[in-house]
Chains A and B, each alone.
Chain A
Amino acid sequence: MTDSRVHPRTPTPDPQALPASLNGKHVPLTAADETRDAGPDARTLLVSVRELHVTFPHRRGDVHAVRGINLDIHQGECVAIVGESGSGKSVTARTLVGLAGSNAQVRSSRFEIDGRPGPFDWRTLRGGFAGLVLQDALVSLDPLRTIGAEIAEVLRVHRIGGREQRVRALLESVHVPDPDRRARQHPHQLSGGLRQRALIASALAAGPPLLIADEPTTALDVTVQSQILDLLAERHAAGETLLLISHDLAVVSRLADRVLVMRNGHIVESGPTATLLSAPTHSYTQQLLAAVPSAASRGRRLSHQPTASSTTAPNQPAPSTTPNPVPPQSSTTPNSTPRSSTAQTRAPQSSTGVRAGQAPSTSDSDQLPSGVVIEATGLRKGYGAHIVVDDVNLTVRRGEIVGLVGESGSGKTTVAQLLFGLTPPTSGSVAFEGAPWTGLTERRRRPRRRRLQLISQDPLSAFDPRWTVGRIIAEALPASIVDQDTRRRRGRSDAVQTLLERVGLGADLLDRYPRQLSGGQRQRVAIARALAPRPSLIICDEPVSALDVSVQAQVLDLLADIRDTDGTALLFISHDLGVIHHLADRVLVMRDGVVVEQGPVDDVFHNPQHEYTRALIDAVPALEVSR
């Protein structure tokens, strides 16, 4: 347990930093374990931890969340811990304020806070020494109390007088406009950004020397995130010490002086931000950096792990850029579209269902002029006087990936619902594969339903909880597979296995339940299920937003492969501009229900015409290191 896998960034350990063991009380450490970078020893050590282990006992084997890490935080520093979910970064941060959990077993060879070893009076330390800012301000703030009362409570606990003036001053210091009015409001009356500011204000209330921010901007829109990061940067510049926990390397690169990369409870690499991001030495850090989707990664594979269907070369131009010379065929025969009838997913269609006795059935969009898969005209949706989507025109062609980007509340998910056809638009229409789609009864739409699939952000809720993976995918298979195959069950399970292989999963998952899968596996199963009916368009609503960056990379690669091999069109909805820029051919930028700008992705992102697009792009925290 004593091996600590720290790879020091500093080639020569600071001699002064060496004698961690000199005071005799602690387990001697080798020079290589020292994580301090040169220089800051003149400053006070706020936190000094050696060989920290945190274990959660569990019936089926203990969970060893943190496995012997060393951490020093000096006065005035901004230290960031970066890692994916389950890496132990949050547990580490919480342990520093005694909030690891009632059942956590914490061991260390040194645990000094504010220069003193324990035991600690946590109640005084929390808020007094370290303020904690959590991800979701809506659940972190008491919904029944005004934010003024929330902040005053901290002042009361720490016996600080003149509360009213201080609350006002604190709200002003975090740039809450009109602080007197806001102090009297409840959390639900504030926007996400203001809530996060109020939370930061309450964390700062007792003037703690250390501010611990655990994923402070993850739940926020990109423009709001940018404001909160500015605020944190401002506090840092004013001398505040920050411990930043994040999964997002870009956020970290903007703020941190020093970065520690955590994985499976170990610190795999640490060092000054610029050095670590520009020349990572550990392979995991390199992977992590390579996995970030952005303009620079366009056309390149993000993950190291090839997916099963990666038969095409990277950097292949989008099929949409070379429209098929299509035979002009009547596009006004909507009801005769037969179901897909092919069993094997990757094989070219062998047609049984024949329209007008000639053309293969499964790729109607091939025969449409210019291969338009879906076309929305003048789409508008209002609930009473509240207009959610206003006059949206949108076209997706065969094999094209169209990005739809916008912040929360911009109406992008409503657009997805309108296109999917379960919500009728207030006005405007949608044509799918050249035939009317809106304004039909569900019964008339049903025969064509399989051609349009949906992948949502949270696949867990998109699976029937009582069903196994095998059954979930089999449900989506066309009924014709069974009809054609005399050995009914065999043909079906073969098709399911082919689909699983295609998304890079093994047959061993067939009998598992969705809740037993990891987030990445779930999203792959969702993709396999969406592919099963051989759709011409998949609407992906924030499909990677809940995933870790390395898993996100694999899923994005998989989606790119699917487009390249099948020619399936994707409408990719995301708030993440990096993801869109990486994947999409064209992009639509939405704001308040209106498409403010659209065009080829490079044009829009490199030369934005609308001021909102410009603001959006400026707000994205870029990895501030050239790669």
Chain B
Amino acid sequence: MALALDRPLSVRLRRPSGAGVFAAAGFLALALVAAVLPGLLAGDPLAADPLHVLEGPSAAHWFGTDQLGRDVLDRVVHGARHSLLIGVVATLIAVTAGLLLGLLAGLTHKYADEALSRSFDALSAFPLLLLALLFVAVAGPGTVGLVVAIGIATMPHYARVVRSQTFVVRQAHYVTQAVAFGHSRTRLVLRHVLPNVLGPIPVLAVIGLGEAILAAAGLSFLGMGPQPPSPEWGAMLSEGRGYLSVAWWTTVLPGVVVTLLVISLTVVGRHLQRRFEGRHP
């Protein structure tokens, strides 16, 4: 029928409330401080205390102590630097590579585009962890290998977005118009295509950061990341695993922190997405 509805349906999609976004942003700020100035929030993560081994949470040790008597909270706070650094650098690698390859795929014709797109498909066919594991296996364990592995494994996501965005922008009238001013192809791409393709990337990167951090923790858990005694979250989970039945806090509390960080990043990322793009994913 030609008539529109009286008013928009009053059923609203559930979205994070203002308070939730606020709390998430606060938690991220805390994590950032922990990563930059861990000494401000916690003591020495490596100070062992053989007299207080595997003690439960108390006023002195909020998160309890581990099998060597180290304060779990101190270790978690210091671990933020490892996790955030790995996550940020891996995401930067992924975004840069994704941008270049996506732009290349979007601007070239047929064969190059096909080849690139199919390789993105092949990469995303494997689960993130499995793929990263493969790269670490090739490059060897350690922080650098881990970062590169996660970067490559998350790249196709950005590359796909950039490629489809490039298709839209290069068809846009303003690019056609710019052709009429006799500008070179390189200039068109740098002045018009690239800046207009970039739009959704920062927000995607914030959400992707959580994914990268989770992958980093997972690989460290498997012993592919920073080696003990570094206070890396995944490594901590792995170390505490043997004591799970007697000292749950050595694994559960660091795990909760990782979960909260990833959720916070997602909540803030989605919020930014709504703010800047005005659409609901």
Task: Name A residues whose Cβ lies closer than 8 Å to a Cβ of B.
Answer: 97-99, 102, 122, 126-127, 131-134, 140-142, 150, 153-154, 157, 199, 202-203, 339, 420, 422, 442, 446-450, 452-454, 456, 458, 461-466, 475-476, 529, 533
CA distance in complex: A456, B174 (Å): 10
Q: Is B184 an interface residue (CB 8 A)?
A: yes
**B157 at the A interface (CB under 8 A):** no
Is A150 in contact with B192, judged by CB distance below 8 angstroms? no
Interface hit among B3-11, B12-20, B91-99, B118-126:
B3-11
CB distance from B193 to the nearest CB of A (A): 10
Chain B residue at smallest Cβ distance from A476: B181
In the complex, are the beta carbons of A533 and B181 less than 8 A apart? yes
A102-B6, A202-B2, A464-B192 known; A454+B180 contact, CB < 8 A: yes
Q: What would 4 more interface pairs be, CB under 8 Å, given A461-B174, A462-B173, A533-B180?
A: A99-B3, A150-B1, A154-B1, A157-B1
Contacts A102-B8, A202-B1 given; does A446 touch B180 at CB 8 Å: no
B195 within 8 A of A: yes
B4 / chain A contacts, CB cutoff of 8 Å: 99
9 closest A-B pairs (Cβ-Cβ)?
A102-B7, A449-B182, A462-B173, A461-B173, A464-B174, A140-B2, A446-B182, A450-B182, A476-B181
B185-217 interface (Cβ within 8 A of A): 185, 191-192, 195-196
> What's the nearest-Cβ distance from chain A to residue B150, in Å?
32
A452 touches B180 (CB 8 A): yes
Per-residue CB contact flags for chain B residues 122-147 toward chain A (1 = under 8 Å, else 0) read 00000000000000000000000000
Q: Which residues of A contact B1 (CB under 8 A)?
A: 127, 142, 150, 153-154, 157, 202
Does the CB pair B174–A126 fall under 8 Å? no
Chain A residues contacting B181 (CB-CB under 8 Å) are 449-450, 475-476, 533
A150-B1, A452-B180 in contact; A458/B173 too (CB < 8 A)? yes
CA–CA, A448 and B173, complex, Å: 20
Classify the interface of chain B: helix, strand, loop or mixed: loop
A99-B4, A102-B7, A126-B3 known; A461-B182 Cβ under 8 A? no
Cβ of A462 and Cβ of B174 under 8 Å apart? yes
Complex Cα spacing A111 to B181, Å: 57
Q: Which residues of B contact A447 (CB under 8 A)?
A: 182
CB–CB A132/B173 < 8 A: no
Are B196 and A449 interface neighbours, CB within 8 A? no
On whether the beta carbons of B6 and A422 are closer than 8 Å, the reply is no
**What CA separation (Å) do A621 and B63 show in the bound complex?**
83
CB proximity of A576 to chain B, nearest CB, Å: 21
The answer for the CA separation of A533 and B179 in the assembled complex, in Å, is 12
| Sampled A-B contacts (13; CB under 8 Å) | A133-B2, A140-B2, A202-B1, A339-B182, A420-B176, A449-B179, A450-B180, A452-B180, A458-B173, A461-B173, A462-B174, A462-B176, A463-B177
Contacts of B192 in A (CB 8 A): 464
In the assembled complex, B253 has its CB within 8 A of some CB on chain A: no
Q: How far is the CA of A465 from the CA of B193 in the complex (A)?
A: 12
Q: Is B172 an interface residue (CB 8 A)?
A: yes
**A102 partner residues in chain B, CB cutoff 8 A:** 6-8
Q: How far is the CA of A43 from the CA of B41 in the complex (A)?
A: 86
CB distance from B49 to the nearest CB of A (A): 58
Contacts of A127 in B (CB 8 A): 1, 3
Q: How far is the CB of A453 from chain B (nearest CB, A)?
A: 6
Bound CA–CA A229/B171 (angstroms): 37
* Closest chain A CB from B175 CB (angstroms): 8
Complex alpha-carbon distance, A446 and B196, angstroms: 23
Given contacts A99-B3, A132-B2, A134-B2, contact A422 B174 (CB under 8 A): no
Question: Which residues of chain A are within 8 angstroms of B185 by Cβ–Cβ distance?
Answer: 442
In the docked arrangement, what's the CA distance between A99 and B177, Å?
40
In whole angstroms, how far apart are the Cα atoms of A133 and B3 in the complex? 9
Find out whether the CB atom of A122 lies under 8 angstroms from the CB atom of B180: no
User: What is B's interface to A at a CB cutoff of 8 Å?
Assistant: 1-4, 6-8, 172-174, 176-185, 191-192, 195-196
Shortest distance from the beta carbon of B207 to any chain A beta carbon, whole Å: 23
| Cross-interface CB contact of B176 among A122, A142, A454, A475, cutoff 8 Å | A454
A529 nearest in chain B by CB position: B177
CA distance A99 to B1 in the complex (A): 14
| Distance to closest chain B CB from A470 (angstroms) | 15
Determine whether the beta carbon of A422 is less than 8 Å from that of B3.
no
B195 touches A466 (CB 8 A): yes
B3→A475 contact, CB < 8 A: no
Distance to closest chain B CB from A542 (angstroms): 13
Q: Is the CB of A453 within 8 A of B180?
A: yes
Query: Which residues of B lie under 8 Å from residue A475 when comparing CB positions?
Result: 178, 181, 183, 191
A422 in contact with B182 given A132-B3, A140-B2 (CB within 8 Å): no
Q: Report the separation of the CA atoms of residues A78 and B143 in the bound assembly, to the nearest whole angstrom.
A: 79
* Shortest beta-carbon distance from A228 to chain B in Å: 15
Q: How many angstroms from the CA of A420 to the CA of B179 in the assembled complex?
A: 10
The reply to whether B196 and A422 contact each other, CB–CB distance below 8 Å, is no
Known A464-B192, A464-B196; judge A203-B180 contact (CB<8 A).
Answer: no
Flag if A465 contacts B3 (CB, 8 Å).
Answer: no
B277 CB to closest chain A CB, in angstroms? 13
Chain A CB within 10 Å, residue with most, of B2, B178, B196: B2
Q: How far is the CA of A401 from the CA of B173 in the complex (A)?
A: 24
Q: Are A422 and B173 closer than 8 Å at their CB atoms?
A: no
Task: List B contacts of A442 (CB < 8 A).
Answer: 179, 185
Q: How far does the alpha carbon of A140 sit from the alpha carbon of B4 in the complex, in Å?
A: 9
- Chain B residues in 8 Å Cβ range of A533: 180-182
- Please judge, given known A-B contacts A452-B180, A454-B176, whether A203 and B2 are in contact too, CB under 8 Å: yes
- CB-CB under 8 A from A464, the residues of chain B are 174, 178, 191-192, 196
Whole-angstrom distance between the Cβ of A424 and the nearest chain B Cβ: 14
A463 vs B181: C-alpha distance in the bound complex, in angstroms? 13
Q: How far is the CA of A98 from the CA of B4 in the complex (A)?
A: 11
Assess whether A461 is in contact with B172, with CB atoms less than 8 Å apart. yes
Determine the residue in chain A with the shortest Cβ distance to B178: A475
Contact: B2 with A454, CB < 8 Å? Answer: no
**A453–B173 Cα gap in the complex (Å)?**
13
Distance to closest chain B CB from A595 (angstroms):
25
Q: CB-CB < 8 A to B182: which residues of A?
A: 339, 446-450, 533
Q: Complex Cα distance A453/B179, Å?
A: 10
| B195 CB, nearest partner CB in chain A, Å | 6
Q: Determine the chain B residues whose CB is within 8 A of the CB of A133 once the complex forms.
A: 2
Contacts of A153 in B (CB 8 A): 1
Give chain B nearest CB distance to A227 CB in angstroms: 19
Closest to B7 in A: A102
The distance from the CB of A29 to the nearest CB of chain B, in whole angstroms, is: 31
Minimum Cβ distance to chain A for residue B238 (Å): 47
**Chain B residues in 8 Å Cβ range of A142:** 1
Please name all residues of chain B whose beta carbon is closer than 8 Å to the beta carbon of A422 when the two chains form the complex. 176, 179
